[in-house]
Amino acid sequence: MTTVLPAGSGTLHYSVTIYKGQHFRQSSWVSVAAFKRCMQKDLSWSHGVSKSLKTQRYNFSRFPFYESWKPSRTTVKSCLEDGSTKFFDFVVIGSGVAGLRYALEVAKHGSVAIITKAEPHESNTNYAQGGVSAVLCPSDSVESHMRDTIVAGAYLCDEETVRVVCTEGPDRIRELIAMGASFDHGEDGNLHLAREGGHSHHRIVHAADMTGREIERALLQAVVNDPNISMFQHHFAIDLLTSQDGSETVCHGVDTLNTETLEVVRFISKVTLLASGGAGHIYPTTTNPPVATGDGIAMAHRAEAVISNMEFVQFHPTALADKGLPIKPEKSRENAFLITEAVRGDGGILYNLAKERFMPLYDEREELAPRDVVARSIDDQLKKRNEKYVLLDISHKPREQILAHFPNIAAECLKYGLDITSQPIPVVPAAHYMCGGVRAGLRGETNVRGLYVAGEVACTGLHGANRLASNSLLEALVFGRRAVQPSIDHMSQSGFYVGRSGRWARPVMPSSLQSSVMDDTLNVTKQVRKDLQSVMWEYVGIVRSTTRLESAEEKIHELETRWEKFLFQRGWEPTMVALEACEMRNLFCCAKLVVSSALARHESRGLHYTIDFPHVEESMRLPTIILPCSTVNTTWSSRQLHKQPV
């Protein structure tokens, strides 16, 4: 059976397919209907995507390194420049662990530009508390890590990808240590390995409860010291620059908006790596930093990259519930404060407000069940009891142990009058991680020539229908490294389009619009963003139904149409750019991809739970594939600004 949503009709302009093949790894698992619609060639996880298949704040002031971060240069000797156009061998979009690790390797072979939306440290990596999973204990094994990953992923994981990541993980950890990353050690002098939900062994390498921050620190320090890398902070990536070479789509770089100077800067490159993170801000409450607005996924979709598994949005079970704090924050957080999985791994117990422990009612693994199970269990308790949060209690553990393992959480809670060594922590689920994204092969390659992906923006097949705790930093490290050699090979065979950099229409700032029009546009866009987030939480949340998903699809279409009409009636042009408007088009794009994928999956698996199809269907144990095939009647969010060459 194949589910195909026709391209170019109604509100959908791409096909969404779940194909029943004889075997998960079979290369011909894209539907015949999708082939006819989009070009004929097969694809498989292990070999990437066929080239001929076409588809359309945290305050860091108390950390000296971040305080002193000043890029000493904006160009390097091997970089060419032509006014507002810059030429690099490699362009990296995103400054999290995947992008930085990749940049440090390819910089040995050419000039590298790292484009980051805000400050270099403002990434999902920096907010990762728990750690990195890797087999480093003699009693553990690659096979055990693989099994835990596949079980957590509801058997939708790609086995070869899982094996590669679990096998290469330990070496990636050792490389970080060699680069200066400092992780916690036990009294015996060995790395202290924690355990988290879904893991059968202690295998989480961590730096207290600030692991991501420590990894980011070490990598950024190495980047600062590399003369072949240029960091362009406060540069928002607008759209990838692509062309057609016969049946192939080719990536030549990216247009960006310098949000400080309000200048459009074009980067032409031989190779582009997307490592821009996820799309948590399609929901009103997320642990993701404000920069996580799905920019990379949306840009890749508009550039005709294959997208996969977007229905699998992971809600972290335990974000700090501000409503339950003794002292309420004065203003709403831009992103929810994460209470790491490691708290439950260290013995934390979940209670409802009646002080009743409830996880044993839902799963024999209790608090150590995978995240999708725990999040649904909490959601069920909240709805049944009409409560706003549940309680996570670690206070029965020794005070010294709690403060040693979770100093950041303890300090954050204490700011609001809560002592986690003696009081339970109020928690609630929040959008946390996109298991889907740009479909990638085993070396980070996509179906767009010259475009590679790594980190949360990618869908490699590792996570399946649900990510195992602490596998995200692991995947980013492994694929940031695996994408290096094919990128070098591609770079060595490619040339710059120096004389042709003007072939794409250049985005423009809306300087011709009156300030009152811009103020109205900003205010309306902010409200539309809130409205979209509300629709996603209400209709596309932890528990779903076909009726509610269809309602979401309709409401999102109406909201987007109304927003675009408002813009264009006030003089906004399709090539105009501003940060808030561009983020909004990306949020719309990603929200539609999630809804369409969810409607295509007629079963409940992992993070996708629908009351209309409450059981797992073995016949649907295959990825969801999104193949954009038409630009007819598409919305602004679905089109590249430069779609037609000048």
| Catalytic positions | 371
CA-closest candidate to residue 123, choices 463, 455, 477, 413:
455
Write the burial class of residue 1 (CB in 10 Å: 0-12 exposed, 13-18 middle, 19+ buried): exposed
For the chain, the first-to-last Cα distance in angstroms comes to 43
CB contact at 8 A, 37 and 627 = yes
Sign, CA dihedral 448-450-456-462, equals positive
CB contact at 8 A, 609 and 466 = no
Contacts of 41 (CB under 8 A, 6+ apart): 35, 50, 51, 52, 53
Q: What is the DSSP string of 407-469?
A: HHHHHHHHTTT--TTTSPEEEEEEEEEES-EEE--TTSB-SSBTEEE-STTEE-SSSTTSPPT
Would you give the DSSP letter of residue 352? -
CA-closest candidate to residue 472, choices 123, 121, 21, 82:
123
Contacts of 264 (CB under 8 A, 6+ apart): 84, 238, 255, 256, 257, 258, 506, 507, 508, 509, 577
Question: Which helix (H) or strand (E) segment is 89 a member of?
Answer: strand 85-93
CB contact at 8 A, 631 and 302 = no
Distances (CA, A) of 43 to 85, 437, 492, 504, 605: 35, 16, 25, 30, 23
Could you tell me how many residues make up the chain? 646
Strands (E), 189-310: 193-194, 204-205, 229-232, 235-245, 248-258, 263-274, 307-308
CB contact at 8 A, 90 and 112 = yes
Q: How many other C-beta atoms lie within 10 A of the C-beta of residue 137?
A: 13
Alpha helices in 542-578 (DSSP H): 546-569
Local structure of 138: helix, strand or coil: coil
CA-closest candidate to residue 479, choices 229, 231, 162:
162
* Rounded Cα gap, residues 248 and 293, in angstroms: 28
The residues that bridge with 113 in the sheet, in sequence order, are 91, 230
